[in-house]
Structure 1
């Protein structure tokens, strides 16, 4: 009898335990499923901490979802990016007002952008390129006006006197119900100055499935986070200016039978490394804001990073800026370069004793008067790491300029495979890559051997890190 009662209690205990476990498991599964099914939209980001239980038995307490505004989510992304780059929490705390200010400007810019351009979830699913149909018709006259007048304005700034006229032409002209196909870039070619991006752009534009934009470098994105519009109308016209660069490729995509498989691109170098005097102070928070903004508009973008050995790249960059040469530089450019690059390296070494490498790369780079721009632009590891905080590694293809020059066919094949496009013919690939072979050839004196050694020593640690992560390096052989 006692044995039967024991067995009965044991069976009841097992049944209760099973019910509790199933209930708990179902609750956990259901909660997780709800979280996983939340729509992680561009302007609505949800954060959820780990599920926790209270001291009360069998009670599962789920912490409430926290909804971040667009401004807050950009701010959090900037902080995350900065921390990943080695910025200390103390520095972030000191700069929290600057971060908040930039995030606010970026949010205003994006909200206005999305009133004209749909969010990524609304791009046409049957097009490879991010496209949509719009009732806003950007007229050819306005496109010509923008193309003709913008070069005359510093940093492509739209003059206030033209805003009202442009706005009327762009947004108040009757479209008679006609819808126009408009597209944004499928891939980005940010690159670094004097690394061969123009040659690659020229080659890719010859592919029958790649539609060349009206302007290789719209130089547009980098102004959004830090340069707020003077008015909503100003921002709307500013957005239309960018769209006008894609009128021609959008039209071709719309008119061709194979339009759904066609793509276009943006090859603005300022997206990754800003080498322009933009008229405002640039710091590490701004650099994290640029990709934070772009990734919200183009989350599926493919990204080509073309890198040239940073040592000759630095010297080539220096020679390229011949219009800024003082007399001393014109007399002996190689000696002038060594003198100032030594100063830049010394300044960098002093900088890293006090703050992070990432901050020093950007701080030294922006010191244009001391010609340090040539130094920081070649620290590819830092710039790529920053961008990889916003897009997965699978959306990047990293290439060496030297391999592109020596092996044009295989290099272009890598790119077309990456984009799932038809390959170039061998003849087209070779001719496309050699078309600019003699462009920018210089008769100036070669870099001094001592300068070369200095730069190789400077870049070697960064190149080693680049090799560890991405398998790319330039093997330096030091002369003794």
Structure 2
């Protein structure tokens, strides 16, 4: 160990002792600084570092990945207002989820490295094997996203043997192949214009569109991975196959070092798949805890629409897939059931944090809690900001993007450190938005007033934290 590293460790441990923090060793190259508020900072040191023995300093204690994730989940929940008593009551559930998340990561890292190449903007690495053509074709064509929403990550057991046998192949002539993960995430709120933004950004010459806009891969696997490591490898290959084309473009083009790709799965930030597995607030903290360990440098774009029309638009959109009785007026149906959701929420917050209630509200029609809670934006954003610094986020209003597309896209390309959009391309791209809600029935004025009253305090909180608001004039 070099004298400079010894000095660094001695100083860090001394500062930790003085400030009441605790200094832990995580592995050969990673140390964590646990602060008084239970937050954790990771300190990455040079690969030759093996042990740290410094005078007058307590020996460093090894922290497992499972323990680290568990601590992050607790820290996140506390920051979001969950009481220590609730965490204590759920400690076994948290430990179980952390164990599953650690297994997920350790298995994922068997085929994807923890470190990426420094000469590419996008997170990429060279591999001695690549996903075989047959497997890639099967994963992309036979298991498309949304074919079965509640089981989109399930691969038939009958296909596992041959998939495992043919999963990887050696590149031609023994050359290594470049594989990549997303550079930025677009975990937008449903019915806020993320599809339009996805379509627009994909026209940028430095942004390579993934095969599927919303692979919806992260929303469940970290807390419910398959028991078999080999099966997990197949599941991981499914996600990687979504970026085979971007990887080949990044590898083959002269400007590959400046090219990027992305994941626009909405279910990363907001619980959209509430069918059969009731995810609670501890699970939610596990998702960003896992994603941030795989993509610590990810840029995150959050597009938000006025939550009042967004909720009604969400209702109309979902009604296309779970149709309400045609005899029922969609506006009357929405008012009746959204009132129930509001009442349930108001009862919930009497004894629980807003964070818990956003994720726990249930009604007799399962989607209402999703329509209502999705618009409490500051909760979803704050949760993610427990795992990435604020500088890695850009928060945008849908209305502003519609009114000022050129300036909005300029902000995005600056944020992503990409060349600006040609002005003509930017204007034309945002005009190509497709209307998916063809209902002519408008929301009732009484429903609009109800939702404005419900969202007003949350909008004020959003403005205080991030400078974004929708002000209502009753």
TM-superposed deviation, 1:137:
1.4
* 1:460 partnered with 2:456: yes
3-state DSSP of counterpart to 1:385: helix
1:274-305 residue CA offsets vs partner (Å, 9 max, x unmatched): 21135322000110000000000000000000
How far apart, in 2, do the equivalents of 1:370 and 1:217 lie?
20
Q: CA deviation at 1:156?
A: 2.6
- Structure 1 residues 35 and 257 mapped into 2: Cα distance closer, same or farther (>3 Å)? farther
State whether structure 2 residue 126 is matched by structure 1 residue 129.
no
Structure 1-normalised TM-score? 0.87
More helix per residue: 1
* 1:155–1:278 Cα contact (<8 Å) kept: no
Aligned counterparts, 1:315-330, within 5 A: 315-322=312-319, 323-327=321-325, 330=327
Distance 1:175 1:468 in 2: 56
Alignment of 1:140-289 (within 5 A): 140-151=133-144, 152=147, 154-171=151-168, 177-277=174-274, 279-289=276-286
Query: Once the 2 structures are TM-superposed, how far is the Cα of residue 170 of structure 1 from its aligned partner?
Result: 1.6
- The correspondence for 2:344, drawn from 343, 347, 350, is 347
**What are the ranges of 5 or more consecutive residues in structure 1 without an aligned counterpart?**
1-26, 51-59
- Contact persistence 1:46–1:67 (CA under 8 A): no
Partner-residue secondary structure (3-state), 2:394? strand
Task: Report matched runs for 1:44-193 at 5 Å.
Answer: 44-47=30-33, 61-119=56-114, 122-151=115-144, 152=147, 154-171=151-168, 177-193=174-190
When structure 1 is superposed on structure 2, of 332-341 and 133-142 the one drifting more is 133-142
Structure 1 residue 294 and structure 2 residue 284: aligned?
no
Structure 1 pair 162–174 and aligned structure 2 pair: CA distance change class (3 A): farther
The structural deviation recorded for 1:325 is 2.9
Give SS of 1:219's match.
Answer: coil
Question: CA RMSD for the aligned pairs?
Answer: 2.4
Distance 1:174 1:124 in 2: 19
- The whole-number CA distance in structure 2 between the counterparts of 1:277 and 1:176 is 47
Match of 1:57 in 2: none
State the Cα distance separating 1:34 from its structure 2 match: 6.6
- Alpha-carbon distance in 2 for matches of 1:453, 1:187: 37
Q: Which has the larger radius of gyration?
A: 1
User: Which sits farther off after the overlay, 143-152 or 360-369?
Assistant: 360-369
Structure 1 residues 41-50 or 146-155, which shifts more?
A: 41-50
Q: Residues 35-56 of structure 1: CA distance to partner in whole angstroms, max 9, x if unpaired?
A: 8999877995534679xxxxxx
- Cα distance 1:476–1:131, how it changes in 2: closer, same or farther (>3 A)? same
Kept after mapping to 2: 8 A contact 1:48/1:63: no
**1:289-438 correspondence runs (5 A):** 289-322=286-319, 323-327=321-325, 330-364=327-361, 368-369=365-366, 371-436=368-433, 438=434
TM value normalised by structure 2: 0.88
CA distance in 1, matches of 2:287, 2:473: 37
Q: For residue 175 of structure 1, report the CA deviation from its aligned partner.
A: 6.1
Distance 1:343 1:366, change over 3 A: closer
Name the CA distance, whole Å, in 2 between partners of 1:366 and 1:177: 57
Q: Does 1:447 align with 2:440?
A: no
Deviation at 1:218, TM superposition (A): 0.9
Q: Distance in 1 between matches of 2:35 and 2:170?
A: 50
- Kept after mapping to 2: 8 A contact 1:71/1:106: yes
Which 5+ residue runs of structure 2 have no aligned equivalent?
Answer: 1-5, 16-22, 37-54
Identify which of 454, 458, 465 aligns with 1:469: 465
Q: How many residues align?
A: 440
